[in-house]
Structures are given as structure tokens and as C-alpha cells.
Amino acid sequence: MNMADPPRTVLISGCSSGIGLQLAVQLAHDPRQRYQVVATMRDLGKKGTLEAAAGEALGQTLTVAQLDVCSDESVAQCLSCIRGGEVDVLVNNAGVGLVGPLEGLSLATMKKVFDTNFFGAVRLVKAVLPGMKRRRQGHIVVVSSVMGLQGVVFNDVYAASKFALEGFFESLAVQLLQFNIFVSLVEPGPVATDFEGKLLEQVSAAEIPGADPDTLHYFQDLYLPASRELFRSIGQSPQDVAQPYKMETLRTSPAHK
């Protein structure tokens, strides 16, 4: 990137914690100031940690905005606050988890997972894509998961939502190359975050109506302890996933994983 070039506008969803927060802060602190970061979250009541981590970058190379990826109106409102409504790099990071025996999961809950993890990403892409096509440049980064490549026991619905992302964006990437728009799928393994810890705590204490005793034993006595140990022993940190050099590689490479 030429030093005379204007900074690239980077819109990131799901920045209240974890990967989104770390990526937003690291890009905003780029010593060459190549990025103007719009860090978004559904609940602005949770912005304190992000603002503290941003430090002097807040209001300079980083702004915080409200964005609910499940709402067309919220997406439109967020983009209207961006100068010219132009987004150079879109990072689809917002997501929710869901763990547990299938018998204990309602269809309404499953739909909420897909509305955030899959349709939320699609909704944002549909909003920024016309501008990217018109300018014939852009980059769409999708934070998927290793569970978008391989299913994991008791993560049926979450994995399905990530598989859907993989199929959708792999297909879309081919179409967008002619517009000089790149698509990147990022597929982290276990990432140790407060979000993951709280999710495991909640399901540990939850009642699971309808599940048979053998399944409950498998989930509560085998799966949950193994999951905690997995995240404790080999879990990556959000900082590991959000390293700026990785973002730079994504920004300049063709559609890839």
C-alpha cells in the first residue's frame, strides 16, 4: 500500500470481545495507519472493553458503532454513518454458539443460530457488495471455523451454520474475482475466549429435557470435561487469530482459505 493512499475502511462485526475486538484494535494501531476501522457490536453497553483497548486510537483510526447483523434496518443505519457508505474490507465475525444434545434444542433456537452465523453474514455482504462492484475492488473476510470443515459431536447446529458459510462464500468467491473482489475464509481451531467459557458453563448447568440417560452421560461426563481440557491445553488466543500480518496477507491475496 502506497503511503499516499487513503486508509482502507474496515467494517468488523462482533467486536465486543474475542477475535473481533482484537482484530479491530490491532488494525487501528497499525503504525502505518492503513486502516480506518469501524468496530461494531449489537449491544453498545458492552463497548467498554473495546474502547479501553483502543486507547488513543479511539475516535482517530477506530470508531465504535451499533450493528445487529440480524436486522436490515440496523445494517442500513450503520452503513449510513460511514463516509460515502463505502467499505473496502468487510470482516464477518459476529457469531453465536450452540452446544448440546439435539433433543434439548428447539427449532427456534437453531434458527437464531443460522440467522446470526449465516444470514447475518449474507445480509452484510448484500449491503456492501454493490459499492465494491462499482469500485471494482474489495475484500470480504469470513470468520468461519474448523467446524465448517468437519463436524464435531454435540455441535451439530453450529457446525451446520459454518458449513453453510463455507459453501456460500466458496461459490460467491468465483463470481467476484472478475470484479477484483477477494473472499477469504478463516477457519480457526479452538479459541479460548470468555464467550466460549460462558457457553460451556451455561450448558453444564442447563436441564436437557428429552435426552436419554446414555446421551446425557456422554454429554455431561465425557464431552464437557474433554472440551474444557481442549480449550485449556491447546486453545488459541484471540490475539493469535487476529495477528495483523494475517490480515495483510488476506487483503492482498486471491480468494482462498
Residues marked as catalytic? 158
How is 134-161 classified by DSSP, letter by letter?
HHT-EEEEEE--GGGTS--TT-HHHHHH
Contact 143/91 with Cβ under 8 angstroms? yes
Contact 203/227 with Cβ under 8 angstroms? no
Contact 12/24 with Cβ under 8 angstroms? yes
Q: 17 — phi, psi (to 5°)?
A: -165, 175
Give the DSSP H/E element, type plus range, for residue 9.
strand 8-12
